[in-house]
Chains A and B, each alone.
Chain A
Amino acid sequence: MISTGMYGIDDMLGGGIPEGSRVLYSLDPGVDGQLFMISTLVSALEKGQSCLAIIPHTTVDAFLHDSEQLRGMAIRAEDHRIVFLDSVDRERIQRSSSSIDAAEKEWQVRIRKLCAENKVEVIFGYFDIIYEDFGFEKGLRLLSPDCCLPRSTIIIEHLNFEGDMFLESLAVRQSFDLILAIKASFRPLPHFNYFTILYTSWSTQLRRSIPFLVKNGRVVPYIPKIVVTGPPEAGKSRFVASATELGVSVDRAGPGRDATTVAMDFGWLHWQDFDITLYGTPGQPRFDPMLPVILNNAMGVVLLVDATNREQLGRARHLYKLIAKMHVPIVVAANKKDLPGPMSEEELRKGIGIGKGVPIFLISAQRKDDVRAVLESLVDSITRFVY
């Protein structure tokens, strides 16, 4: 297996990329996704594999500098087994070739020579300009078994102007063993990047879309905002505190009663490779004008209710209607299951008006395992969501 250099993605792929695979990293225009290719390249080099990088859009020096800036690790010809075909080579090929066919042949000759001389195991091809010069199919022929060593792994980065249909057609035709699309969306929050594993030839896993950010030279799956809301005294602050490693709560304690949240709870956690930020809302109706502000741009919502308090079902129903309009994944957690007289799932569904599609968990917010199970379900729904 070749590691993608991105731990969470390797897990999703069942350990990495099987050797001999053809991989497509498809970048939507403007999406900050160059680190996917660079991470995989660095990973292959660190493993001692011999690599060929086809970089017709840039020079070797500029590529090495950019890679170091992106990944925070220098690629050095003296330390690593890497050879290049760069923009200077492309210019020479263009100048010396009288036709497209001649240029194609010249590329093939050069690739074959470099592969044979250096026993290249992994080829990294930046395909944007190759695609323009030769078209997709012809471009792929440059990396056919005629030119590369048998069982070479081929990894291509492609700037996708054609959209999803093009990628779907590649998946249907099984042109690649792995198609990973790196995309951006303005909803639910502005400038939000995510990647989707569209197709793998070696597994039949569900398609998932994983939000990510680039941090310290790493692709970090993240969920910038999960909101925990619910009626007063349902245990929202406790839920956020149990879920997170670090957080604050803006509370106020009155005479003769426990503290209640008057602004919001806020916490962070790093879990299952995701960086997640949790926001808890106040539950009192007088704070309702704040709810749209806190709920804005949420990628998922936990509706937390007190499983023993039937009087709060009306309030829970009101909140559920509010968040259902956002069209983002929702999970309902019924807290205080360990106290006497908790409601059943059916009673809760009926009382709040929840359809079958929304999961309900009976939990104790004091138990970290229970809280994590709720988050696991919500993260699962978020990664299956179509953005």
Chain B
Amino acid sequence: MLYLSGIGSLPPGFPAIGTTSYKHSGEIIQQEMYSYKTGIPQIDQATGGFDAGTNLLILAPSLSLAEELAYILARPLPGEYAIMLSTNERASEVIDQFRVVGADKSFVGVIDAITKSSTPTITDTGRFMFVTNPTDLTGIGIKFSQMLETIFDGTFSGKETGLFPPPIRFCINSVSTLLMYRKLEVLYQFLHVMTAKLKKVEGFGIYILNSEAFDERTVSLIKQLMNIVIEIKVERSDNYFRVMGIHGINADWHKFTTSKGQVVMAL
């Protein structure tokens, strides 16, 4: 899909655009592809950001900085949108978390799988949608499509920039909770659909999975759907991450912490 930045150049502060090319009817077509900045200096400096259509798994133990990292990765930069499927926190808490990492909440949508169980009469708005519980994959899929449609229609935030296709970050917090409600096989199929859709709309998907709570087969199956895995480990209260799946970046462990919505690399 051709990336159109409207007429003229991108406004200041907009993320970079890379190029990709393919052959069509014997002719080489060059396309501009959007790159999603991660906020992780090592990755952004080496790659210029993740390609549109990337699906990334954060594989981390409990009580690590996985969630903070996910919010940093999911934070919409100027011109971007974020959709969070929350199975652990209410929509209001999700928005608070995005505020902490410096996101403009006008560009954040939440599919909340928590609140409706206690408040059944809560009504969907354009940016906040509710399903009764994480078992309702039909409802989750529909709400996700509806949000995508409003973003594509240009009616999501009321402050649209006109970028097309609109860059969308999508985060599931967390796959672990979904796995508690649904069988692995079903969830695999569901995630297969979601990751494929993200590729189609040239979005960027972020998925959190607890590395300690599931067996090897489960982790391996979920990994199959991803392009990139960020693994986190905690040693003596220090957090380390390593990135797997990016050409040119080695899989060394890096000590890190997060502060004011930034990933801070420790020496």
Contacts and interface: CB of A to CB of B under 8 A. Distances in A.
Contacts of A129: 135
A69 interface: yes
B193 A87 contact: no
A65 interface: yes
Contact of A191 (B123, B139, B149, B186): B149
A128 B137 contact: yes
B133 interface: yes
A62 interface: yes
Contacts of B212: none
Contact of A161 (B142, B152, B190): B190
Contacts of A32: 142, 145-146
Interface in A132-171: 132, 157, 159, 161
Interface stretch (A53-61, A226-234, A243-251, A340-348): A53-61
Interface in A159-194: 159, 161, 184, 186, 190-191
Interface stretch (A4-12, A23-31, A277-285): A23-31
B30 interface: no
A224 to B, nearest CB: 13
A57 B135 contact: yes
Interface string B96-126: 0000000000000000000011001101100
A191 B197 CA distance: 11
Contacts of B194: 29
Nearest to A61: B120
Contacts of A297: none
B142 A31 contact: yes
Contact of A159 (B116, B120, B138): B138
A34 interface: yes
A80 B182 CA distance: 33
B136 interface: yes
Contacts of A57: 132-133, 135-136, 138-139
A30 B191 CA distance: 12
Contacts of A159: 137-138, 141
Interface string B177-205: 00000110010011001100100100000
A29 B137 contact: yes
B70 to A, nearest CB: 22
Nearest to B149: A191
Given A57-B136, A57-B138, A132-B182, A30 B121 contact: no
B91 interface: no
A60 B197 CA distance: 31
A184 B120 contact: no
B186 A161 contact: yes
Interface residues of B, number: 30
A31 B144 CA distance: 10
B57 interface: no
Contacts of B69: none
B172 interface: no
B66 interface: no
B152 A58 contact: no
A352 B132 CA distance: 58
Interface string A71-115: 000000000000000010000000000000000000000000000
Interface string A25-50: 00101111110000000000000000
Nearest to B135: A57
Contacts of B133: 57-58, 87
Interface string B148-188: 11001000000000000000000000000000001100100
Contacts of B135: 56-57, 87, 129
A184 B132 CA distance: 24
B114 to A, nearest CB: 13
B138 A128 contact: yes
A59 B138 contact: no
A62 B145 contact: no
Given A30-B145, A59-B117, A161 B138 contact: no
Contacts of B141: 29-31, 159
B50 to A, nearest CB: 22
A57 to B, nearest CB: 5
Among B116, B136, B182, B186, the one with the most A-chain Cβ atoms within 10 Å of its Cβ is: B136
B148 A191 contact: yes
Contacts of B197: 30
Contacts of A58: 132-133, 136, 139
Contacts of A31: 141-142, 145
A132 B190 CA distance: 13
B166 to A, nearest CB: 11
A29 B148 CA distance: 14
Contact of A87 (B132, B148, B189): B132
B186 A30 contact: no
B124 A69 contact: yes
A34 B133 CA distance: 17
A65 B121 contact: yes
Nearest to A126: B138
Contact of B152 (A61, A128, A190): A190
B142 A34 contact: yes
A161 B120 contact: no
Contacts of A64: 120
B231 to A, nearest CB: 28
Nearest to B181: A129
A65 B186 contact: no
Given A161-B186, A161-B193, A191 B132 contact: no
A126 B142 CA distance: 15
9 contacts: A30-B141, A30-B145, A31-B141, A56-B135, A57-B138, A58-B136, A65-B120, A126-B138, A191-B145
Interface of B: 116-117, 120-121, 123-124, 132-133, 135-139, 141-142, 144-146, 148-149, 152, 182-183, 186, 189-190, 193-194, 197, 200
Given A34-B138, A57-B135, 9 more contacts: A31-B141, A57-B138, A57-B139, A59-B120, A128-B138, A159-B141, A186-B200, A191-B145, A191-B148
